[in-house]
Amino acid sequence: MKKNKTNLAPELTTNNKLKNIMGILILLFSFALYAQSIYFDYALDDTNIVQDNNLVKKGFSAIPTLLTTDALYGMNEESVRAAGYRPIPMIMLAIEWQIAPNNPHFYHLFHILVFAIACWVLFLLLCTIFSKWNLIVPFVCTLLFVAHPVHTEVVDNIKSLDELLSFLFSILSMLLLFRFVEKKSTIRFVFAGLCFFLALLSKETAITFLLIIPLSLFVFSNNPFKKILTIAAALIGVTLVFFLIRYEVLKAIPADQVKDLLSPDFNSILAAPDFASQKATAFYILLRYAFLLIFPYQLAYDYSIAQIPIQQMTSPGALMGIVFYFAMGIYAIIKIRKKDVIAFAILFYLITLAPVSNLFLTIPWTMGERFLFMPSLGFCILITLLLIRITKTEIIKSKFKTFSQLLKMNIGFMAIVLVFLGLYSFKTIERNPDWKNNTTLFSHDVKVVPNNAFAHINYGSVIMYTLCPAEKNIEQQKVLIENAILEFEKAVAIYPKLSDAYSNLGVAHTYMADYKNSIGDVMGAADNYNSAIKNYEAAIPLFHPTPPSYIYCDLGMLYCKTGQYDKAISILDSSLRHYPSYTDAYTKKCFAYLSQGRNEEAIAECDKQLIINPKEITAYINKGYGYSNLKQYEKAIENLNIGLEIDPMNVECLQLLQTAYQNIGDVMHANQCIERLNILRN
């Protein structure tokens, strides 16, 4: 910002009491705005990151492993890994699990507290860098940041703890370095480096503060360039240590286990036919980001295929994005030499957005509101400065002593700010409930992003796996399954190469077939089983490098249900080649053999299953069937009794055991089985 003579007036004494009041107001406002999320459940990736994460559920004992493994280790199948290293948020999630196991409300409470603390630290930082300015400037900047609706994904989604912690440690590092240059203190310098290191360990995008911190010192302090370079060199040293540790951790991951997230399935930019159209689409997305910050009207958790249309360099949206961002960049570069604060705000926005812009580095995702969490601070600073210019508000530190005096002396400026805060807060409070759980999120956002194939898959999955099982009315269940099929078909229509759409269609048609069987519609059930098979068969070639184990097993069971036992055995063999320890494949293969009367081969599969898991009761039950079919009742009884030792309440095992005893004329033991069955049924 262009400074006049009044801007060069001597620095006035900070009213610490007033600053403390403002800080408390920011803490309370931050907490109150998101307090409703304390009662939310898991949503989106929260289940994988927390609830189904084998490491997180170990609590404190998982910390050494979390420090030495990648970000995906511990989620579902540990054979799927990622080239990412973010131990700090994972450790925090494990600690929270130790304190309150599987309690999403506690996670959300902790999340809000971290956000509130981050906003308070941000206020302290802005007070420091704007130390010669009217105290209203850092106060309003922070309030706008707190209230902006684009932050709802980060604050309401437990998984986004990485974004919150990375931001918190980054600005804390910056605050400590500013206080270090004001008054040399070795401990501040050391803690600043430690905070920056923790920021990198939270999320790699904190690396942008390698530029942001020296730039801030240049604009807002009178330190010589040499001293700023010394601080930058220290931060570079911290960064090198981080990348060395990261390299040592990730190099141990076998290459065939690393999940390749760079796919058109997730980032539709990769579906663009050439380099020019990829970058044109990236500039169009950058324009969408700017509009989201200015008009955060419709928000969504996902913007992947094919919600963002592929652009050409001549497309209006791409051209507008190119002109807008180049104009901002050129202005900022020219003006920053004069320590222009508006130029700083623009550069803060551009630098922190650069790693996720898909311009310099292609990331796995097309677009995400969480990517605006850090950059939005630059936007909030810019809006505050522009409003100050428009209202001609005095920017020198004024001599007010109370909060009411501050408001009265800046009444015109604050009136406009309150309009912004009111609109932002209303939208934030309105958006929060969408993140309550997957049902609320997916059912709402599928309307906001109707061209997003994943949005339709996720909504269809909620219908099929959550709403349908909870529905008691049989007819209504049928309607729900039909609606799920419709959503999956929409996904296929949008993007025919999406494996998850076909596999979910396979599940949905299986459900529909089972429903029709239950009401006696045998022909209708056969049609649905065949449709399910076709969708599973279409899905398998689309998975890379190989389908999940359950896909093979589901298809194998469908082959069994339609009497195609040889095909069932073949596809289950494929499953076992890729997943030799997946015991369900042995169970289904055994079922196929039993259905064909190949009892010895069925028993052999059970024995293989029991080598992997000696307490797999289905294997003992199936051996009971096999030996009973072979009329080797003594062996059947032996295996079924072992099964009952594992699960004394297993009705199927008891029924089969009763029959085996009857077949050898052991009435006493058969009657004992009947008595136990009657007890269980009652």
Considering 413, 430, 447, which residue would you say is the last residue of a domain?
430
CB-based contacts of 49-58 (< 8 A; 24+ apart in sequence): 49/75, 49/93, 49/158, 49/159, 50/93, 50/97, 50/104, 50/107, 50/158, 50/159, 51/102, 52/76, 53/93, 54/78, 55/90, 55/94, 56/90, 56/93, 56/94, 56/97, 57/97, 57/101, 57/102, 58/94
| One domain for residues 44 and 140 | yes
CATH number (domain holding residue 671):
1.25.40.10
Phi, psi of 613 (to 5 degrees): -140, 100
472: in domain = no
| One domain for residues 534 and 661 | yes
| One domain for residues 402 and 512 | no
| One domain for residues 523 and 420 | no
Angle, CA of 128, 132 and 136, to the nearest 5°: 80
446: in domain = no
- Give the integer Cα–Cα distance in Å for 293 and 328: 15
11: in domain = no
69: in domain = yes
**3-state SS string for 621-661:** HHHHHHHHHCCCHHHHHHHHHHHHHHCCCCHHHHHHHHHHH
CA dist list (Å): 260 to 40, 343, 494? 32, 38, 22
Considering 394, 411, 430, which residue would you say is the last residue of a domain?
430
| One domain for residues 524 and 402 | no
Check residue 255 and give its pLDDT: 66
Check residue 266 and give its pLDDT: 80
In the block, tokens 């910002």 appear at 1
481: in domain = no
- In sequence order, what are the residues at sequence separation of 6 or more whose Cβ sits closer than 8 angstroms to the Cβ of residue 203? 86, 89, 162, 163, 165, 166
103: in domain = yes
Check residue 14 and give its pLDDT: 46
CA dist list (Å): 113 to 31, 38, 436? 7, 11, 18
Check residue 11 and give its pLDDT: 40
What residue type is 46 in one-letter code? D
Phi, psi of 315 (to 5 degrees): -70, 140
What residue type is 648 in one-letter code? P
CB-CB contact of 445 with 302 (8 Å):
yes
Q: In this structure, what token pair is assigned to residue 68?
A: 């030495």
Number of C-beta neighbours around residue 201 at 10 A: 24
How many folded domains does the chain comprise? Answer: 2
Helix then strand then coil, in percent of the chain rounded to 5, is 75, 0, 25
| One domain for residues 502 and 361 | no
483: in domain = no
| One domain for residues 108 and 254 | yes
**3-state SS string for 121-133:** HHHHHHHHHCCCE
Domain extent, residue 575, equals 491-681
| One domain for residues 415 and 338 | yes
53: in domain = yes
Number of C-beta neighbours around residue 237 at 10 A: 11
Largest CA distance in the chain: 109
- In sequence order, what are the residues at sequence separation of 6 or more whose Cβ sits closer than 8 angstroms to the Cβ of residue 682? none
| One domain for residues 317 and 184 | yes
Angle, CA of 292, 48 and 514, to the nearest 5°: 105
| One domain for residues 517 and 411 | no
| One domain for residues 538 and 652 | yes
| One domain for residues 419 and 519 | no
Closest CA to 491 of 528, 438, 455: 455
CB-CB contact of 194 with 188 (8 Å):
no
Averaged over successive runs of 10 residues, the pLDDT of the chain (682 residues) comes to: 41 66 94 95 91 89 89 66 84 94 95 96 94 87 97 95 96 95 86 96 95 95 88 95 92 69 80 91 95 93 88 94 96 94 96 94 89 96 92 71 74 88 95 96 94 94 92 88 94 91 91 80 84 91 83 90 91 90 90 93 93 92 94 94 92 93 92 90 77
Q: Whole-model pTM?
A: 0.87
Check residue 398 and give its pLDDT: 60
What number of CA atoms fall less than 13 Å from residue 91's CA on the CB side? 15
Considering 430, 448, 477, which residue would you say is the last residue of a domain?
430
Grouping H, G, I as helix, E, B as strand and the rest as coil, residue 75 is strand
Q: Peptide bond before 306: cis, by omega within 30 degrees of 0? A: yes
What number of CA atoms fall less than 13 Å from residue 531's CA on the CB side? 18
